[in-house]
C-alpha cells in the first residue's frame, strides 16, 4: 500500500491541515498535559509501559494483544484508510529521549494494526507550543468504529530467531555508543556491550537538539554507511527494550525504502535475561 501522508510531518503541515477529513491527531502525552492544552481536534491516547500501546510484564514495552489495539483504534473512530499524526511529549535533558521514540513506537504499532498512514509530528507538542500555534482544552466528540484487521507478527522477532540469524542478517544496535561499546551500563538491560556481529547505529543521531529530524539525506547516508545499499537484505533492529529499535524500523521502512526490516522487541533486556553472550570493547564484532 502506498502512503498518502509523509511519515514525518511538520508543525506547519499539521496547522494547514487541521480539520481535514480523514486526518486524526493522536496526542500520546499524559492526560493532565493534554487537559492543559492540546492541538485543536486531537484525541488523548496516553502512551505508557502499560497502556493501550504496550504491555510490560516479563519484559517491558511489548506489543499489547490485538484486541486491545483494535478497541483503542475503534474508540478513536479510525479505519484502515485513516491518516494519523502522533503527537508526543519531550523530556528535558539530561533525561534520555525515550519519550521521542515513544511517538514513533506508537506509529509503528498502528502500522502493525493495519493503519498504514501513521505519521509522527517532528518536534512533538513542545515545538507546536513554542511556535505559538493554536491550542484547545476541548475534547472532540468522536463516532467510534468497529475495527478489525489481519495482523502480521512475522516482523517482530524473538531471541531464538535473532540467534539463528547471527552472521546471516544485518543486526543493528540503536542504543547510544557507550552502551554498545560497553563503557557504560545499559539501564534497561543492566549490562555492558552488544550482541555479537551487531553494528552500532545510534538513534540519537537522527534528531536535532529540538528533536526534530536531521536532514533526511543525512539519515539516509548514516543508514547506508552502516547497513549498505541493498534494500532487500534482512535487517534486524534492537536496542535496550524495543523503543529505539521501533524508531529505526520506522525510518528504514517508511522513509528509506528498506523492505525486510524486523524488530527484536525484547532487545538487550531479553538477550541478557536468556543468558546469551555479549561483546565488549569492540566496534567490529
- CATH code of the domain covering residue 171: 3.40.250.10
Specify whether 264 is located in the same domain as 165.
yes
Task: Give the DSSP H or E segment for 87.
Answer: strand 83-87
Specify whether 206 is located in the same domain as 105.
no
∠ CA 231-233-236 to the nearest 5 degrees?
Answer: 105
Phi-psi region of 36 (alpha: psi -120 to 50; beta: other; left: phi over 0): alpha
Specify whether 169 is located in the same domain as 112.
no
SS3 call for 34:
helix
What is the residue-averaged pLDDT of the chain?
Answer: 96
Average pLDDT value for residue range 93-121: 95
Give CA–CA dist 145/78, Å, rounded: 7
Q: Would you say 125 and 39 are in contact if contact means Cβ atoms under 8 Å apart?
A: yes
- Predicted pLDDT of residue 94: 79
- Predicted pLDDT of residue 96: 84
3-state helix, strand, coil in the chain (%, to 5): 35, 15, 50
Average pLDDT value for residue range 98-108: 96
Among 97, 130, 163, the domain-final residue is: 130
* C-alpha 12 chain-centroid distance: 22
User: Taking 80 as the threshold, does the pLDDT of residue 17 lie above it?
Assistant: yes
Within 8 A by CB and 6+ apart from 69, the residues are 52, 109, 112, 113
User: Taking 90 as the threshold, does the pLDDT of residue 125 lie above it?
Assistant: yes
Note the pTM of the prediction, 2 decimals: 0.96
H-state helical runs in 9-97: 11-16, 31-36, 66-75
SS3 call for 236:
strand
User: Taking 90 as the threshold, does the pLDDT of residue 115 lie above it?
Assistant: yes
DSSP type of residue 62: B
Q: Is there a cis peptide before residue 156, judged by omega within 30 degrees of 0?
A: no
Indicate the number of domains in the chain.
Answer: 2
Specify whether 267 is located in the same domain as 170.
yes
Burial class from Cβ neighbours inside 10 Å (0-12, 13-18, 19+) for residue 277 reads exposed
> pLDDT confidence of 1, banded at 50, 70, 90?
low
> pLDDT confidence of 264, banded at 50, 70, 90?
very high
Count the Cβ atoms, other than its own, within 10 Å of residue 280. Answer: 12
User: Taking 90 as the threshold, does the pLDDT of residue 190 lie above it?
Assistant: no
- Predicted pLDDT of residue 189: 85
Grid cell for residue 268: 538487550
Domain that holds residue 193: 153-273
Specify whether 91 is located in the same domain as 198.
no
Specify whether 125 is located in the same domain as 183.
no
Average pLDDT value for residue range 94-103: 90
Q: Looking at the domain assignment, is residue 160 inside a domain?
A: yes
Average pLDDT value for residue range 261-278: 96
Q: Looking at the domain assignment, is residue 87 inside a domain?
A: yes
Average pLDDT value for residue range 238-253: 97
Amino acid at each position: 500500500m502506498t502512503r498518502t501522508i509523509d511519515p514525518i510531518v511538520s508543525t506547519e503541515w499539521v496547522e494547514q491541515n487541521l480539520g481535514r477529513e480523514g486526518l486524526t491527531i493522536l496526542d500520546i502525552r499524559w492526560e493532565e498535559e493534554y487537559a492543559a492544552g492540546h492541538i485543536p481536534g486531537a484525541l488523548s491516547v496516553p502512551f505508557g509501559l502499560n497502556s493501550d500501546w504496550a504491555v510490560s510484564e516479563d519484559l517491558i514495552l511489548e506489543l499489547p494483544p490485538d484486541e486491545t489495539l483494535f478497541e483503542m483504534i475503534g474508540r478513536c473512530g479510525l479505519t484502515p484508510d485513516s491518516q494519523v499524526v502522533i503527537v508526543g511529549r519531550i523530556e528535558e535533558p539530561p533525561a534520555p529521549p525515550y519519550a521521542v521514540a515513544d511517538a514513533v513506537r506508537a506509529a509503528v504499532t498502528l502500522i502493525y494494526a493495519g493503519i498504514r498512514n501513521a505519521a509522527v509530528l517532528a518536534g512533538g507538542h513542545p515545538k507546536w507550543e513554542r511556535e505559538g500555534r493554536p491550542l484547545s482544552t476541548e475534547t472532540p466528540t468522536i463516532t467510534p468504529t468497529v475495527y478489525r484487521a489481519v495482523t502480521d507478527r512475522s516482523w517482530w522477532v524473538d531471541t531464538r530467531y535473532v540467534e539463528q540469524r547471527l552472521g546471516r542478517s544485518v543486526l543493528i544496535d540503536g542504543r547510544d555508543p557507550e552502551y554498545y561499546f560497553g563503557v557504560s551500563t545499559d539501564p534497561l538491560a543492566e549490562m555492558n556491550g552488544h550482541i555479537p556481529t551487531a553494528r552500532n547505529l545510534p538513534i540519537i543521531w537522527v534528531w536535532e537538539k529540538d528533536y526534530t529530524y536531521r536532514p533526511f539525506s543525512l539519515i539516509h547516508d548514516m543508514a547506508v554507511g552502516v547497513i549498505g545499499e541493498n534494500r532487500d537484505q534482512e535487517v534486524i533492529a534492537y536496542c535496550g527494550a524495543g523503543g529505539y529499535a521501533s524508531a529505526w524500523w520506522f525510518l528504514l521502512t517508511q522513509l528509506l525504502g528498506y523492505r525486510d526490516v524486523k524488530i527484536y522487541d525484547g532487545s538487550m533486556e531479553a538477550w541478557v535475561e536468556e543468558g546469551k553472550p555479549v561483546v565488549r570493547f569492540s566496534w567490529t564484532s
